[in-house]
Structure 1
Amino acid sequence: MTSAGTPWVELYRPKSLQDVSHQSEVVATLQNAVETGRMPHLLFYGPPGSGKTSVALALCRQLWHPSDWKRRVLELNASDERGISVVREKIKNFASLAVGKPQEASFFSKKKKDEDSMDVEEKKYPNPPFKIIILDEADTVTPDAQAALRRIIEAHSKITRFILICNYVTRVIEPLASRCAKFRFQALPPASMRDRLLTIAAAEGCSEQEVSLVDEILEQADGDMRRAVTTLQSVHSLAVGSQPLSKDIISEIAGLPPVAVMDQLWKTLGADGTAATYDSMQKMVESISADGYSAKLLLSTLLTRVVVDNTLSELDKAELAIRIAEAEKCMMDGADEYLQLLTVCGHALGCFSRSAQGSARQ
């Protein structure tokens, strides 16, 4: 695939540990593994888009020569392959394969002399005598499969290293997590993300109007670099001819409800002190659902407003937060989004009604 058809997320993915932004402690520790060629099993955890998979791939690229590292690395995504059969067959077969004697870098220099640049030819690689299995989304692997994986890690640790990647480390069983060196990835700060987005925008020839929306993109991304780069590419694709771009486009691309829609929903709940009825609230929820907005994102935005509201008591805020958490859990289990959103909004309507009645008595 040419660079013109490659998603920007893949095209500008860090190729080495030095290119990784913000995760300085993790990079410094792993750089020592590159220099010595010695590495334990690793467990990367942190929020989405913080660079966990990019760091794992960059580490592998620096351990072996470009013509050799893909043979030494097996990358699996547990979101698709999470059952015990995958652990017993694909992972176990790859982990049990013997590793040949590491080839010298000079051999690759002679072999690739006509193909590679002098910088690549002269580069030294530690070529450690082991393979690496990268298991992404490891927190979605079933408990039985994690238990089977624990035994495989013990049996083949001399010739295979594991890099487990997850968002929630608490969902990885303790016997498996204790066998790995843990690295926590932090959400990227806006300053670091801004510099990277401006670099990508300059490389892709984005207009001044597109660059002016970078701050809005960073606000919507909320520390997720992958989401920020994807949104920037979508904005660049929409900027056809002289069509004006606005901040509302960023919300539409991210799937977030416009501010005007949230303001109207907030009003129908009686949050501004006006009289509100259940029928008007129900019609508003039906309209929002018909427009196709994500109920999860609506509830997340609603929770943000509830927390900073001055009219609700702390008890009401706590009850609403619990209802929103329960609704999100139900939606993850397959519940209907409209019913869950209606339930939360109905409870919020009651909380604001009680708050207004209490203020009237005073």
Structure 2
Amino acid sequence: MADTSTTLQATTSTTPWVERYRPKSLQDVSHQGEIISTLKNAVETNRLPHLLFYGPPGTGKTSVALALCRQLFEPSQLRRRVLELNASDERGISVVRDKIKHFASLAIDTETTKKYPNPPFKIIILDEADTVTRDAQAALRRVIEAYSKVTRFILICNYVTRIIEPLASRCAKFRFQPLPVESMKARIKYIAHEEHCQFEEGKEEEVVDEILTLSQGDMRRAVTTLQSAHSLSGGAGEVIKKDSIAEMAGLPPPALIDGLIEVLRTGKFDDMKKYVMDIVLDGYSAEYLLSALMAKIIVLDGVEDEAKAKIAIQVATSDKNLIDGSDETLQLLTVCSLALQCMKTR
């Protein structure tokens, strides 16, 4: 059992929970068994290729890369042996020419220890590599070729199709599977217990389920949501409520969507337009509103399947338009106008 001072220090620390509970070694990583087994073998044999980790966000790609480095190098060597970059901050060719090429060309010592392999190479972790421009990726390919004897690269991305083939072909590819819901739930409950989070009596399951729903399979987002809810509730000793989770995330309450459904049933365009404009002025996400509205319409009685299909197609079209930068109000009104025609009571 941890002593009181240790517990207090953990509770009051300003360290983000995502970092505090990040796996420290490959053994701590769960539900990526095949990948972990392969990497453990690479550590034991000191034969590590360039790596390409891809898969949905929050599935442990960066955590595995960092845990791998911790097992390869002793702590005092990490700063000199490992360079971690987030490509979303610096997407252009200059970062390849300057930071990456400079670090890759540095000489290293080959000292080994009993506890750590300390292999004769450095590691460069490039997170969100799919945001790097194609020209920069081509330049990176040349750097990999030039310094492969003394440097290994770990590229991390969500979409492997955005990595140019000449670069991807030089890496061993590992796809990270989405984490099972039960595994995420167990981890969130563990963190909540460690951080002394309090829930409404008998409502812990509901609150945790709400967090997992909002996180959409992203473990990092789930942990961040829990920490934000804990902080906004007042910290240790205060109760985290289910309603506060959606509010904290800036999502519309279910009653707002139910109200929109009722307005659509009336068939009055002016009422619908006013309701939609009020929602937009409240600052809610149009993307989430469309998703929540469609989820309600799908299970709605009294609306024909053909009408539901038409609405679903328009929701998909509007969702694409939003991604392309279209006006949120216009897209919401377009979907709701069609839904109005399909749903109004006769």
- Distance in 1 (CA, whole Å) between partners of 2:102 and 2:320 is 37
Residue 273 of structure 2 corresponds to residue 282 of structure 1? yes
Instruction: Choose the corresponding residue for 2:242, options 247, 250, 263.
Output: 247
Q: Could you say what secondary structure the match of 1:103 adopts?
A: coil
Indicate the residue corresponding to 1:80 in structure 2. Answer: 89
Indicate the residue corresponding to 1:218 in structure 2. Answer: 212
- Distance in 2 (CA, whole Å) between partners of 1:162 and 1:93 is 14
Q: Are the counterparts in 2 of residues 63 and 69 from structure 1 also a CA contact under 8 Å?
A: no
Amino acid in structure 2 at the alignment position of 1:267: E
Amino acid in structure 1 at the alignment position of 2:40: Q
Residue 302 of structure 2 corresponds to residue 300 of structure 1? no
Residue 131 of structure 2 corresponds to residue 144 of structure 1? no
Q: Are the counterparts in 1 of residues 198 and 238 from structure 2 also a CA contact under 8 Å?
A: no
Q: Are the counterparts in 1 of residues 197 and 238 from structure 2 also a CA contact under 8 Å?
A: no
Residue 237 of structure 2 corresponds to residue 228 of structure 1? no
Amino acid in structure 2 at the alignment position of 1:260: A
Residue 344 of structure 2 corresponds to residue 335 of structure 1? no
Residue 105 of structure 2 corresponds to residue 102 of structure 1? no
Q: Could you say what secondary structure the match of 1:79 adopts?
A: coil
Shift of the 279–236 alpha-carbon distance from structure 1 to 2, 3 Å rule, reads same
Q: Are the counterparts in 2 of residues 138 and 164 from structure 1 also a CA contact under 8 Å?
A: yes
| Offset of residue 59 of structure 1 | 0.8
Indicate the residue corresponding to 1:67 in structure 2. Answer: 76
Q: Could you say what secondary structure the match of 1:265 adopts?
A: helix
Shift of the 168–347 alpha-carbon distance from structure 1 to 2, 3 Å rule, reads farther
- Distance in 2 (CA, whole Å) between partners of 1:187 and 1:244 is 30
Q: Are the counterparts in 2 of residues 73 and 134 from structure 1 also a CA contact under 8 Å?
A: yes
Kindly provide the CA deviation profile for residues 275-314 of structure 1, in whole angstroms up to 9, marking residues without a partner as x: 3122111111111111111111112222333444565556
Q: Are the counterparts in 2 of residues 201 and 211 from structure 1 also a CA contact under 8 Å?
A: no
Amino acid in structure 1 at the alignment position of 2:109: K
Indicate the residue corresponding to 2:43 in structure 1. Answer: 34
Q: Are the counterparts in 2 of residues 36 and 126 from structure 1 also a CA contact under 8 Å?
A: no
Count, aligned residues: 332
Instruction: Choose the corresponding residue for 1:163, options 154, 168, 172.
Output: 154
Shift of the 262–171 alpha-carbon distance from structure 1 to 2, 3 Å rule, reads same
| TM score, norm. by length of structure 1 | 0.84
- Distance in 2 (CA, whole Å) between partners of 1:29 and 1:58 is 14
- Distance in 2 (CA, whole Å) between partners of 1:233 and 1:300 is 25
Kindly provide the CA deviation profile for residues 107-150 of structure 1, in whole angstroms up to 9, marking residues without a partner as x: xxxxxxxxxxxxxxxxx111111111111111111122122222
Indicate the residue corresponding to 1:56 in structure 2. Answer: 65
Shift of the 12–277 alpha-carbon distance from structure 1 to 2, 3 Å rule, reads same
| Offset of residue 254 of structure 1 | 2.4
Amino acid in structure 1 at the alignment position of 2:260: L
Shift of the 39–309 alpha-carbon distance from structure 1 to 2, 3 Å rule, reads farther
- Distance in 1 (CA, whole Å) between partners of 2:96 and 2:220 is 28
Residue 182 of structure 2 corresponds to residue 191 of structure 1? yes
Identify the range of structure 1 (226-235 vs 337-346) with the bigger mean alpha-carbon deviation.
337-346
- Distance in 2 (CA, whole Å) between partners of 1:181 and 1:218 is 31
Q: Could you say what secondary structure the match of 2:76 adopts?
A: coil
Shift of the 244–197 alpha-carbon distance from structure 1 to 2, 3 Å rule, reads closer
Matches within 5 A, 1:312-351: 316-351=307-342
Shift of the 346–202 alpha-carbon distance from structure 1 to 2, 3 Å rule, reads same
- Distance in 1 (CA, whole Å) between partners of 2:91 and 2:308 is 38
Amino acid in structure 2 at the alignment position of 1:285: V
Structure 1 gaps, min length 5: 107-123
| Offset of residue 242 of structure 1 | 8.0
Indicate the residue corresponding to 1:257 in structure 2. Answer: 252
Q: Could you say what secondary structure the match of 1:5 adopts?
A: coil
Instruction: Choose the corresponding residue for 1:130, options 116, 121, 125.
Output: 121
Kindly provide the CA deviation profile for residues 54-85 of structure 1, in whole angstroms up to 9, marking residues without a partner as x: 11111111110011022111111111110122
Q: Are the counterparts in 2 of residues 53 and 136 from structure 1 also a CA contact under 8 Å?
A: yes
Shift of the 313–166 alpha-carbon distance from structure 1 to 2, 3 Å rule, reads farther
Identify the range of structure 1 (145-154 vs 71-80) with the bigger mean alpha-carbon deviation.
145-154
- Distance in 1 (CA, whole Å) between partners of 2:269 and 2:166 is 51
Q: Could you say what secondary structure the match of 1:68 adopts?
A: helix
Shift of the 82–325 alpha-carbon distance from structure 1 to 2, 3 Å rule, reads farther
Aligned-pair identity (%): 64
Shift of the 158–206 alpha-carbon distance from structure 1 to 2, 3 Å rule, reads same
Q: Are the counterparts in 2 of residues 285 and 341 from structure 1 also a CA contact under 8 Å?
A: yes
Q: Are the counterparts in 2 of residues 34 and 126 from structure 1 also a CA contact under 8 Å?
A: yes
Q: Could you say what secondary structure the match of 2:56 adopts?
A: coil
Identify the range of structure 1 (16-25 vs 304-313) with the bigger mean alpha-carbon deviation.
304-313
